[in-house]
Structure 1
Amino acid sequence: MTTKPNEQSIVMLGASGAVGTAALNSLLSLKNIQQLTLLGRNPIPNVNADFVKQYKINIHEPKSYLDYLPGHRSAICTLGVGEPSKISKEEFIKIDKTAVLNFAIACKNAGVKHFELLASVGIHAESRFFYLRAKGELVEALKDLNFDRLSIFQPSMILTPTNRYGLSQAITLKVWPYLNPLLIGGLRKYRGIPVDVLGQAMANNIFNNGKGYEILQWDQFYSVTKKRN
Structure 2
Amino acid sequence: MNSESNMLYVVMLGASGAVGTETLGTLLQGKNIQKITLLGRSHISDLDNAIVEQHNIDITDASSYENFLQGHTTAICTLGVGQPSKISKEEFIKIDKTAVLDFATACKKAGVKHFQLLASVGISPTSSSFYLRTKGELVEALKALHFDRLSIFEPSMILTPTNRYGIGQAITLKVWPLLKPILLGGLRKYRGVPVHILGQAMANNIYNKGDVYEVLQWDDFYN
Helix, strand or coil at the partner of 1:12: strand
Match of 2:56 in 1: 56
**Residue 186 of structure 1 pairs with residue 183 of structure 2:** no
Alignment of 1:131-170 (within 5 A): 131-170=131-170
The equivalent residue for 1:10 is 10
Shift of 1:175: 0.9
In structure 1, distance between residues paired with 2:31 and 2:145: 29
Partners in 2 of 1:55 and 1:161 — Cα distance? 28
Q: Partner of 2:34 in structure 1?
A: 34
The SS at the match of 2:172 is: helix
Instruction: Give the superposition deviation at 1:181.
Output: 1.3
The alpha carbon displacement at 1:211 in A equals 3.3
Q: Which AA in structure 2 matches 1:76?
A: I
- Summarize deviations over 1:29-78 as a string: whole Å, max 9, x none: 11211000000000011111100000000001100001000000000000
Report the identity percentage. 69
The residue type equivalent to 2:157 in the other structure is M
Partner residue of 1:226?
none
* Deviation of the 1:6 alpha carbon: 2.1
1:115-135 alpha-carbon deviations (Å, 9 max, x no partner): 000000000000010000000
Distance 2:6 2:109 in 1: 23
Q: For residues 55 and 172 of structure 1, what CA distance do their matches in structure 2 show?
A: 35
For residues 3-50 of structure 1, the C-alpha deviation after alignment (integer angstroms, 9 at most, x for no partner) is 922221000000011001110111111121100000000001111110
Alignment: residue pair count: 221
Q: TM-score, normalised by structure 2?
A: 0.98
User: Per the alignment, in what secondary structure is the counterpart of residue 4 of structure 2?
Assistant: coil
Flag as ranges the 4+ runs of structure 1 deviating above 3 A.
none
Q: CA deviation at 1:210?
A: 2.2
Matched residues in 1 for 2:217 and 2:210: separation?
16
Give 1:227's aligned residue.
none
CA distance in 2, matches of 1:208, 1:47: 27
Q: What is aligned with 1:90?
A: 90
Aligned to 1:176: 176
SS for the counterpart of 1:70 is coil
Distance 2:213 2:30 in 1: 24
CA distance in 2, matches of 1:21, 1:186: 30
Unaligned runs of 5+ in 2: none
Q: Deviations over 1:183-219 (max 9, x none)?
A: 0000000000000000000000011112310000000
SS in structure 1 at match of 2:60: coil
Measured in 2, the distance between the counterparts of 1:216 and 1:192 equals: 14
The answer to whether 1:200 aligns with 2:184 is: no
Question: In the aligned structure 2, how far is the partner of 1:80 from the partner of 1:199?
Answer: 15
